[in-house]
Amino acid sequence: MELICADRNGFRRVNNREADALRYTFGVSVGSFLVDIINIEYDPTLAKISKKGRVRADREIQMRSDYNPENLSWLGVFIHEAVHIWQRETERHRGGRGGEDYTYGYTQLPTLKLKIEEHARAVQDWFYVNYGIRYGLIGPGANQMTFERIQKPILKAMGFDPDHDPPVKMGVDDLLRLVELHYARLIEEIRDPGHLPKSTRPKSPKFP
């Protein structure tokens, strides 16, 4: 069992699962940059304002005290907050304010015309599908998310009514292809090290 201790201020570094999720989502270069700078703090007061996580300062993520990074739903919340740190570091997708509408549409994805919460939510939705399938975290288990729960925001973004009766028939492979098609530009952007400030970009290896 991995043990990561908090410092005297109550912050801890990301653990192995969180680091893997960051590198999977943001790519190795940008993901490793985020692994190095993000600090996590548990804040029991978040439950009182119905929030699971938030960013404090530039590189600190506060999570609710019952946060479990082995749970796919919780890990997606962590990735959502990590996107906000990426936004601050790159000064991209800064329109809007926190707490505004998280809803986005498929026409915004190829143009990247997404405000703060729209952008973070879109990456979070992509993460649930791709990371969930890769690690077998889609299902009825304790740390899993059901397929219906994962596909609902995707269908809504695509312009379908997720509550329509009869429901839209879609399998795991269908959902994955849909996400790979429409979210490709979104993920390409956050994986580009060129968007990071020059002083913080990962250095290319030097060969003799």
φ, ψ for residue 23 (rounded to 5)? Answer: -70, -35
For residue 162, the model assigns a pLDDT of 79
Band of residue 4 on the pLDDT scale cut at 50, 70, 90: low
Using alpha carbons only, what angle is made at residue 90 by residues 50 and 62, rounded to the nearest 5 degrees?
A: 25
Band of residue 1 on the pLDDT scale cut at 50, 70, 90: very low
For residue 207, the model assigns a pLDDT of 45
Question: DSSP string covering 59-93, please?
Answer: TEEEE-TT--TTSHHHHHHHHHHHHHHHHHHHT-S
pLDDT above 90 for 6: no
For residue 180, the model assigns a pLDDT of 95
What percent of the chain has a predicted confidence (pLDDT) above 90? 74
User: CA-CA distance, 114 to 190, in Å (whole number)?
Assistant: 13
Using alpha carbons only, what angle is made at residue 201 by residues 198 and 203, rounded to the nearest 5 degrees?
A: 115
Q: What is the pLDDT of residues 94-123, one digit of tens each?
A: 776 555 678 999 999 999 999 999 999 999
State the average pLDDT over residues 200-205: 56
For residue 8, the model assigns a pLDDT of 43
Q: What is the pLDDT of residues 116-130, one digit of tens each?
A: 999 999 999 999 999
Strands 60-63 and 53-56, bridge-based pairing: antiparallel
Q: What is the pLDDT of residues 141-183, one digit of tens each?
A: 999 999 999 999 999 999 988 787 677 788 999 999 999 999 9
Strands (E), the chain: 11-13, 39-42, 53-56, 60-63
For residue 195, the model assigns a pLDDT of 95
Pull the structure tokens for residue 175. Answer: 């959902």
Q: Are 53 and 61 in contact (CB under 8 A)?
A: yes
Question: DSSP string covering 3-26, please?
Answer: -----TTSEEE--HHHHHHHHHHH
CA torsion angle for 191, 115, 79, 131 (degrees, to 10)? -70
Q: What is the pLDDT of residues 50-81, one digit of tens each?
A: 789 999 888 999 999 999 999 999 999 999 99
For residue 36, the model assigns a pLDDT of 96
Pull the structure tokens for residue 189. Answer: 């952007």
pLDDT above 60 for 208: no
pLDDT above 60 for 93: yes
